[in-house]
């Protein structure tokens, strides 16, 4: 494998897939021998193997060549560790523990800045620019977290419900890892609110509510009006109001800023989530153990609520949302 093919092709493939651009995995077939396995000769290039390994994590369902690439490159990288220089060994070991595709961008930037600051051939102006960018984005994230913390405290769920998980910071960190760019500020804030409330609802269905209460709660969500909560126990009324008001506030902001009417979509998504939660509660109450497929199919509804605000932000910025992230 030449330097050009070993580094450029997997690297370009990974960048294209990571950013949602069309890219075909057939480019890796040129590295296979007549028996359909990866050529042993390419293992001599450790950088090429590392590039192949990182690219393999962006495979789509049915792309066997990328699964082969992952197994092949991972095995050879593990074997090569004792023979590498200390710096390269550290780099490969980190990739094997946590591939680049799964790392948080801002933390990765911080780590790279620390390494670059020790380089003898660094460009001081570039280092200063990186520090300035990191400080500005970090300051924005801190302001967003402060706003979320105030909202969460004013909502009062933790004080009024002893069982509620108090994790706004963790929820916010998830959104930062998903899309850290400054332009997604509003999306991070509103999505964090949604996840915080979702965790409370999950606790109600998993540990706190009785089956009869959970049925009433789900029926109230289906009606989606304030009169529907009158039949609920007091702790559910508090949760219903928090969910109802927060959802309408998010929908209003999206309507105001982007001209998109999403309240019906968000309402339908919450109904789907509650029905999925209720199905799990009935499984548990009846002692039924679902199959893995049943569990995944039902669990898919849990994550639809997080897509609404994000998609509205993408549309408003003119970024095409692809139903198939890896078109082949």
- In this prediction, residue 259 carries a pLDDT of 84
Asked whether residue 3 carries a pLDDT value surpassing 80, the answer given is: no
- In this prediction, residue 304 carries a pLDDT of 56
Looking at the DSSP assignment, which residues form a beta bridge with residue 289? none
Percentage with pLDDT > 70 across the chain: 89
What digits encode the pLDDT tens for the residues 128-177?
999 999 999 999 999 999 999 999 999 999 999 988 899 999 999 999 98
Is the CB of residue 6 less than 8 Å from the CB of residue 45? Answer: yes
What digits encode the pLDDT tens for the residues 213-255?
999 999 999 999 999 999 999 999 999 999 999 999 998 988 8
Asked whether residue 92 carries a pLDDT value surpassing 90, the answer given is: yes
Residue 47 burial (C-beta neighbours within 10 Å; 0-12, 13-18, 19+) = middle
Confidence bin at 306 (pLDDT 50/70/90): low
For domain 3-103, which CATH number applies: 1.20.58.410, 2.40.240.10, 3.40.50.1220, 1.50.10.130?
1.50.10.130
Confidence bin at 318 (pLDDT 50/70/90): very low
What digits encode the pLDDT tens for the residues 194-224?
999 999 999 999 999 999 999 999 999 999 9
Asked whether residue 115 carries a pLDDT value surpassing 90, the answer given is: no
- In this prediction, residue 308 carries a pLDDT of 54
Ranges of each domain in the chain = 3-103, 136-316
Instruction: Tokens for 277, please give them.
Output: 């939660």
Contacts of residue 254, Cβ cutoff 8 Å, sequence gap at least 6: 260, 262, 309, 312
Q: Which fold has domain 136-316?
A: Farnesyl Diphosphate Synthase (1.10.600)
Is the CB of residue 66 less than 8 Å from the CB of residue 28? Answer: yes
More confident residue, 205 or 262: 205
Say which residue the tokens 């495979």 belong to: 59
- The DSSP code sequence of 122-144 is --HHHHHHHHHHHHHHHHHHHHH
Asked whether residue 6 carries a pLDDT value surpassing 70, the answer given is: no
- In this prediction, residue 94 carries a pLDDT of 94
Confidence bin at 60 (pLDDT 50/70/90): confident
From 184, 206, 178, 204, select the one nearest 281 (Cα to Cα): 206
User: Structure pTM?
Assistant: 0.81
- In this prediction, residue 133 carries a pLDDT of 95
Residue 150 burial (C-beta neighbours within 10 Å; 0-12, 13-18, 19+) = exposed
């Amino acid at each position: 494998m030449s330097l050009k093919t070993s580094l450029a092709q997997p690297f370009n493939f990974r960048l294209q897939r990571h950013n949602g651009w069309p890219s075909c995995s057939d480019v890796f077939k040129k590295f296979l021998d007549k028996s359909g396995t990866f050529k042993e000769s390419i293992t001599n290039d450790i950088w090429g193997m590392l590039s192949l390994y990182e690219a393999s994590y962006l495979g789509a369902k049915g792309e066997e060549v990328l699964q082969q690439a992952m197994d092949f490159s991972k095995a050879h990288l593990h074997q090569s560790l004792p023979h590498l220089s200390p710096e390269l060994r550290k780099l490969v070991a980190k990739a094997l523990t946590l591939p680049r595709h799964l790392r948080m961008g801002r933390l990765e930037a911080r780590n790279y800045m620390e390494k670059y600051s020790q380089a003898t051939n660094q460009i001081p102006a570039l280092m200063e620019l990186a520090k300035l960018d990191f400080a500005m984005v970090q300051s924005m994230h801190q302001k967003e977290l402060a706003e979320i913390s105030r909202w969460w405290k004013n909502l009062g769920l933790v004080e009024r419900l002893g069982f509620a998980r108090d994790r706004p910071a963790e929820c916010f960190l998830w959104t930062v890892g998903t899309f850290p760019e400054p332009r997604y500020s509003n999306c991070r804030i509103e999505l964090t609110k949604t996840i915080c409330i979702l965790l409370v609802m999950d606790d109600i269905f998993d540990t706190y509510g009785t089956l009869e209460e959970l049925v009433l709660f789900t029926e109230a969500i289906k009606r989606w009006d304030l009169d529907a909560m009158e039949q609920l126990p007091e702790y559910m009324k508090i949760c219903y109001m928090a969910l109802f008001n927060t959802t309408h506030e998010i929908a209003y902001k999206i309507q105001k800023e982007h001209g998109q009417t999403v309240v019906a979509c968000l309402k339908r998504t919450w109904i789907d989530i509650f029905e999925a939660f209720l199905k799990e509660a009935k499984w548990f109450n009846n002692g039924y153990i679902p199959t893995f497929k049943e569990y995944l199919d039902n669990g898919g509804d849990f994550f639809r609520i997080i897509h609404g605000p994000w998609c509205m932000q993408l549309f408003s910025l003119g970024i095409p949302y692809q139903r198939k992230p890896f078109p082949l």
